[in-house]
Structures are given as C-alpha cells and as structure tokens.
Structure 1
Amino acid sequence: MPVVVATGYSSAVDPETGVALAARQAQVGLGGASCDLAIVFVSGDHVTEVDAVMATIHEVLAPDELVGCSSGGLIAGGQEHEHGTGVAIWAISVDEGRADVFELRTRPVEDGLALLGMPDPDAGTSSAIILLADASRLPLEGTLRAFEEHLPGVPLIGGVPSMVPPDGRPLLHDRGATDAAAIGIRFSGVEVLPCVSQGARPIGPELAVTAGEGGVIQELAGRPAIEALRETVDGLGAEDQARIRHGLLLGLVVGPGRPEYGAGDFVVRGLAGADPEAGAVVVGAPVEVGQIAQLHVRDPETATRDLEDALRLRRAAAGSGQVAGALAFTCNGRGHDMFGHDHHDADAIQRELGPLPLAGMFSAGEIGPVGGRPFVHGFTATVAVFLA
C-alpha cells in the first residue's frame, strides 16, 4: 500500500465533540490504513483542553505517534481559519517507511546552552524532518545550524506556534502538553518535497558583500553598506520606491561564491538596524564575505506569484508520482491582512497540487530550506509535500 495522508477539521467548541469529528474524518480518509503518525493543531478554547483533545484522538484514530501544538489559526483542506476555536488533524500511514518522533531540550552549560535529543545520524537515511519549535525555549538559528551539521542535506520544514497557552507549553506529545523545546518527526523511506515561498522579489543591482561578519554588513561592492543601499534605492522606479517604504528587505544568496543562483536561493531578511557613522547595516542572518546581496520587495502580487511558482516546481519535481498530501506552515502576517481575502495560501496549494489532504497552522516563524540550508523565516509559506 502506498503512503496515505488524511486530514480532519472541526470548529465545534466542545473539545470532545469537535475533536472526535475531526479524528473520524481523518480515519475515513486513511481508508483502513493504520495511522502511524497524527499531528494535531489546536486553536482558541481548545488550547486549554489539550488533555481531552489528545485522549479523544487516541480513542478514535489510535495513532502510533501523536504530536502537535497550539496556534492562533489553522489550515485545513482548502480553507484557512485565522480566528476562533478549532482543531485540524493531519494523519499519515507511511507503509514501509518510518516516522520517528523526538523531543529536543536544552541544558545550561558554561558557554551557553547544550542541545539534547538530536536524532541519531547513523540510524538510517532521513528523507525529511518536520519540526515544531518553541522559540521561547530554543535558540532557533543555532538549532538549525546544529541540524545542518548533524544531518546535512536533510530538508527541515516546520513552524513556531503562534499561540502560547496560559501554562506556557504550546507543544503537545502523546497525552498532553510537553515542556520540550521542540518536537520533531524524522521521516525515512517516505518521499517529501520541501517548498518555501518568501513572497519577495529582487530589485536593483546585485552587490557583493566585501566586508562583514556575524549579522553585520560593513561594505557592499567595496563601499560603505549604507551608501551602496541608499544609491540603489535612489535609482529605483517610483513603484518600487513606494513598496520599500513598508520595510526595506535584503536578500542574501546562501553560500558565498556560487556561480549560479536564482530568486529562490536568496534568504530574505529585514534590516534590523544601522550604524550611520560606520556605514554598516544589521541583518537578521549571518553574512559572509563574497555573498551576493540584493534589495527585495514584498507585496501581495509578488507573494502570490512566488507561491504559485514554488508549488509548480514541486509539482514538476514529483514527475509522474502522485501527491499523497501536504503539511503547511504559513506566517500569521499573511492571510487576510496581507492578501485582502481569505484562504489565499491553502487555495493556492490546492489549485497547484490538489485536490489533496492538507492541514497546518499559522506560525510565528516558518522553517524551511533555502539553497539547501535550513532557515527560520517571516511572512513566508513553507510546505512539506508528501508523495504516495
């Protein structure tokens, strides 16, 4: 039997009634296949009823593994539920593959934090990792670099919960909330295609980083970074100048000295600060001398085209393979506020890849690869596409 994905959703306020309904929908969608893993996303009043939520899923769906998190909004099918109470369940039967759950925790050490619970790199070949991360308990960038070193080349897709319950524990595992810093699912023997749409496009000339370290760029193209960027902005057309007034974005090609790269190889970051006297700018990403930098703009039209293009590339990459389903993590700054209408990202995924079982959440940080390296993003949609 191939990989089977199924989903369920309910907005019923009573946790047992609503969760049972969503779990039965997922059970029917599996078509008699065993549930090897279920991921549950809860919003609204359900975030304080997680014990009942998890117990009901165990009773109805009987998954081998059950994880999840709280969120400010849910994705289910072709719809996005940005507000209110609800539960979305994503279930998978992995056939002869594996879906191994692990928890990450941190421990204070002399020079910072030690990361505990990383999956064993020698325990078979990993096809992808789904990561739900509590940013209040985990240094995200450092954790992603640890994954890059520990499991190089393995796609990492996931998100940061956008709602934290009163007890401060947004992550769920087995029977209830957990104080873990992150929950991961390591897939083996299951084909997963990562999709990342940052919703931004490059404008102006490309500029090489000629001096910089950490998250600070001192020089671009041999000139003070502020001076080079100011000249670039002055040379833009009126339309692009109007767009960057909402926030200046800088894209950095992942990896210095790459001879070939495209728009999807830029990690896009906002400018976090500047030092006018030194002519330096601060970006929310590590920089290296030799990297190519380019200004970017983000707007609804660009974000729509970027997501559609990214999804079409994944559809092409799947070839003749059938898409079993998808997990989606979209920024809580997207949705209706960004696009002016509901269900934008979910509708695009269904239009380009579907119809397919889809579930996910609105996130306070989206995790996905750029240039083969994992990053945490903002205003981004990241999607894990599972093939049958």
Structure 2
Amino acid sequence: MTPKAVSHVHTGSYSESALIEATTALREQMGTNASLGFFFATREWAENLEDSLELIRLHGHVSQLIGCSGSGVLGRRIELEQAGFSLLLLSLPAGSFETFAITEDDLDAVDDASFWHRFTGISPDKAHAWVVVTNPAFDGLEGWLATWNQAYPGTPTVGGIAGAPDNEYFLVKDGDVVDAVLVAVGFTAGVTVESLVSQGCRPIGEPLPITKAEDNLILEIGNIPAYQALENAFLSIPALERTSVRNNLFLGLAVSEYIDEFKLGDFLIRNILGADPQLGALAVGAFPRVGQTVQFQLRDMRSAHSDLVEAGRRARQRCRAPLAILLFSCVGRGRNLFGVLNHDPSVIAETIGDLPLAGFFCNGEIGPVGSQTFLHGYTASAAILNAE
C-alpha cells in the first residue's frame, strides 16, 4: 500500500463537535483508516483529554494514537501560542512501526544497552528512526539518551519534552493517558525518516582545539586562556552588533574531528555558564575533552532564521518522497525569538514542502547531531517521514 498522511490544527478550548468534525474530515480526506496518529494539545484540553482521545480514535478510525501536552501547538504553516490541538494521521503498511511507553521501573531494569533490543523487540539493523515525547519531570533524559545511542548507533531519534505550565502535562500512548517517563514510536518499515536539527546559531571566531580542561571547565583553547579566546571571538563581531549579542554567546563542540572544514550542523551547542577573567576559565554546560575542537556561536533572530533555512534545504536534498513532518520547537522560539508567529512551520514548508505537519512547543528538544542524539535548547527538531 501507498502511505498517506493528513493533518489539522484547531484553535480554541475543548469542543466535542469541532473534534468530531476535524477527525471525520481527515479520515475522509485520507480515504482510509489511520494506522497511527500524533495528537498534541495545550493544557486547556487536559480536563477533557480522555473524551478527546476516544473521539479521535472513534471518528478518525485511528489504531494507535501517540501524543502529549505542549505549551503551544504547531501545524501546517501555523503556530498556536494559545489553546488548541494539532493532529497528524498516517496510513502506513502493516508492520511499519511499534509503540512503547517506558517507565521508571523499566529504567531500573537496564543492565546494558542490549536491554533496549529485548525491550522493544527491534534490533539496530531494523530500526529506521525513533520519535519520542518525554515527561518534563524525568531528570534522567540525558543518561537515557547515552544508553539509547549505544543501543541504536546512528539511528536518528527525534522528539521533545512535553510542555505545559504548572505541571499540567500528559503523555499519550495507544489512545490512553499513561504514567511514563517517555513514549516512543519506532519506525521499522514502510517509511524512512530524515531528521532536521536547527540549533539557531552561527559561528564566530575560528574553530580551535581545547588544550586544557577539567570537568566542565575549559581552561585553555588553542594554547591561550579560554576567556581570552572568547574575548577574541567577541571582538570579531562588528562593533555595532556587540551590545545586542553579549548575552547570546554559546559554545559549539565538534561532534567529529574527521572533518576538513567545519560548517553549520557540525557542532553541538551548549551554554556558557560562567567566566572567570582572572583564571581565564569558562564553565560550560558539557564535559568537553582536551583535543576537542570548539567554536564560539552567536544566537539571534537572524542566525536562527538562516540556520533553519539551511537545515531545511539540506534535509530536503536527502528526502526521496516526503510524506509528513513532526516538528518539535522550543518554547523560546516562536514570537519570543522571531517577533512573529508561524516562523518555524512556514520555513519548513518553504524549504521541504507544504506537507501535513503536527508538533508542539517543547521544554527541550531531542535530535541528532552527527551520529548521536542529544537534548537541546532553543532548537527546532523535525522528523520528516518519507514513503519507502
């Protein structure tokens, strides 16, 4: 069978009639039942969540429904920072995917990376990609990702941390609210998945190796004090821009040293947590190693726009037959960063294609840089589903 996809975004609080109308229209538009659906909604839908899920499954004829809460929701060329939901329905060949909920008890049982092969029943050679949504109260996400990277090396994992103020978050698996640390979909056949990660930065200064470091402190870069290296990079910015960017400087850590010329996407962006001019040291949100190449980075509206455009163009070149998109965008983006709504889904539509799309504003984004998956901030991360 040929995979199919449709999507819809609704503005407003819970409405039974609006939900029935939307899901019925999507099913009719697709012309067949949905084997998999993704549902993202704001906290205003939490009170009627179980009714909403039942209506989607009933009127959309959805076999498996995955989702979570978001601080806002994303759709085809649209962002909602107020009440609403976003729904993507997919008709995929039998055996295309598996769904999982991972609990704290499951994490306690992990002995090594091969545990996840037994847990999911999916071997590394069968896994095309993973889409995950996680509980914001789960503080072991980066540790889980480290083991997950070992279990499925080179397999992209894309997703985000559920968003909602005042702990009014929820996770959904198979159409039910679940008490889990994360929910995952593993794609194994029928579709391929290309990932997109835009960390919203542009490099400043030159890429240089770390020559002295201890834990999360960088003491020397290129055989000079790390603070001086930061100052040199800052002075490379045009004088008129320096005042506005002083608090928007970050550090990029190269994810591979086997690169002749570093470019966008070759660095993992991490926060500069502090600086000591007397010691010449920088504290960063990572544990860099001596010999690792780093380059300072600048994040602003212009950089974030350019980075997403370039990431979208590169992703489109890798896509054979794009079908649908799942987009996970930081709550700090949107109007907060760009001054206007609809930026990220509009750029995605213009660079990759005006495809069915669902997503949400996250409290942290998950996506690969190089061959490994990381947790990010202020990032747009996307899974682009392609008909196989």
**Alignment TM-score, normalising by the size of structure 2:** 0.90
Q: Is the 8 A contact 2:43 2:169 kept in 1?
A: no
Q: What is the CA–CA distance in structure 2 between the aligned matches of 1:213 and 1:53, rounded to whole Å?
A: 51
Alignment pair present for 1:102 and 2:100:
yes
Q: What is the CA–CA distance in structure 1 between the aligned matches of 2:317 and 2:358, rounded to whole Å?
A: 22
Assess, with a 3 A threshold, how the Cα gap between structure 1 residues 97 and 243 changes in structure 2: closer, same or farther. farther
The aligned residue for residue 127 of structure 2 is 126
Assess, with a 3 A threshold, how the Cα gap between structure 1 residues 36 and 124 changes in structure 2: closer, same or farther. farther
Larger mean Cα displacement after TM superposition, 298-307 or 268-277: 268-277
Q: CA deviation at 1:197?
A: 1.0
Secondary structure (helix, strand or coil) at the match of 1:184 reads strand
The aligned residue for residue 378 of structure 2 is 379
Q: Give a deviation string over 1:64-106, Cα, whole Å, max 9, x none.
A: 21111011101112111111x2111111122255121111222
Q: What is the CA–CA distance in structure 2 between the aligned matches of 1:230 and 1:169, rounded to whole Å?
A: 42
Secondary structure (helix, strand or coil) at the match of 1:236 reads coil
Q: Give a deviation string over 1:297-335, Cα, whole Å, max 9, x none.
A: 1121221111111111121112xx321111101111111
The aligned residue for residue 292 of structure 2 is 291
The aligned residue for residue 249 of structure 1 is 250
**Matching of residues 1-388 of structure 1 within 5 Å:** 1-32=1-32, 34-83=33-82, 85-107=83-105, 119-122=120-123, 125-163=126-164, 169-189=169-189, 190-256=191-257, 258-276=259-277, 278-318=279-319, 321-388=320-387
Q: What is the CA–CA distance in structure 1 between the aligned matches of 2:237 and 2:314, rounded to whole Å?
A: 30
Q: What is the CA–CA distance in structure 1 between the aligned matches of 2:215 and 2:257, rounded to whole Å?
A: 14
Q: What is the CA–CA distance in structure 1 between the aligned matches of 2:133 and 2:180, rounded to whole Å?
A: 10
Name the amino acid aligned to 1:221: G
Assess, with a 3 A threshold, how the Cα gap between structure 1 residues 291 and 29 changes in structure 2: closer, same or farther. farther
Secondary structure (helix, strand or coil) at the match of 1:228 reads helix
Q: CA deviation at 1:199?
A: 1.3
Assess, with a 3 A threshold, how the Cα gap between structure 1 residues 48 and 285 changes in structure 2: closer, same or farther. farther
Q: CA deviation at 1:228?
A: 2.2
Assess, with a 3 A threshold, how the Cα gap between structure 1 residues 25 and 218 changes in structure 2: closer, same or farther. farther
The count of aligned residue pairs is 382
Q: What is the CA–CA distance in structure 1 between the aligned matches of 2:215 and 2:106, rounded to whole Å?
A: 23
Assess, with a 3 A threshold, how the Cα gap between structure 1 residues 378 and 239 changes in structure 2: closer, same or farther. farther
Q: What is the CA–CA distance in structure 2 between the aligned matches of 1:235 and 1:344, rounded to whole Å?
A: 29
Q: What is the CA–CA distance in structure 2 between the aligned matches of 1:77 and 1:158, rounded to whole Å?
A: 17
Percent sequence identity over aligned pairs? 31
Assess, with a 3 A threshold, how the Cα gap between structure 1 residues 246 and 25 changes in structure 2: closer, same or farther. farther
Q: Is the 8 A contact 2:264 2:307 kept in 1?
A: no
Q: CA deviation at 1:361?
A: 0.6
Secondary structure (helix, strand or coil) at the match of 1:208 reads strand
Secondary structure (helix, strand or coil) at the match of 2:306 reads helix
Structure 2, unmatched stretches of 5+, are none
Q: What is the CA–CA distance in structure 1 between the aligned matches of 2:215 and 2:30, rounded to whole Å?
A: 47
Larger mean Cα displacement after TM superposition, 268-277 or 340-349: 268-277
Structure 1, unmatched stretches of 5+, are none
Q: CA deviation at 1:58?
A: 1.4
Q: CA deviation at 1:31?
A: 2.1
Secondary structure (helix, strand or coil) at the match of 1:251 reads strand
Q: Is the 8 A contact 2:124 2:152 kept in 1?
A: no
**Alignment TM-score, normalising by the size of structure 1:** 0.90
Q: CA deviation at 1:256?
A: 4.1
Report the aligned-residue RMSD. 2.5
Assess, with a 3 A threshold, how the Cα gap between structure 1 residues 233 and 36 changes in structure 2: closer, same or farther. same
Name the amino acid aligned to 2:233: T
Name the amino acid aligned to 1:264: G
Secondary structure (helix, strand or coil) at the match of 2:144 reads helix
Assess, with a 3 A threshold, how the Cα gap between structure 1 residues 152 and 366 changes in structure 2: closer, same or farther. same
Q: Give a deviation string over 1:4-53, Cα, whole Å, max 9, x none.
A: 12112222433422322332233133222x31211100114102221111
Q: What is the CA–CA distance in structure 1 between the aligned matches of 2:312 and 2:4, rounded to whole Å?
A: 20
Q: What is the CA–CA distance in structure 1 between the aligned matches of 2:285 and 2:29, rounded to whole Å?
A: 42
Q: What is the CA–CA distance in structure 1 between the aligned matches of 2:95 and 2:14, rounded to whole Å?
A: 35
Q: CA deviation at 1:350?
A: 1.4
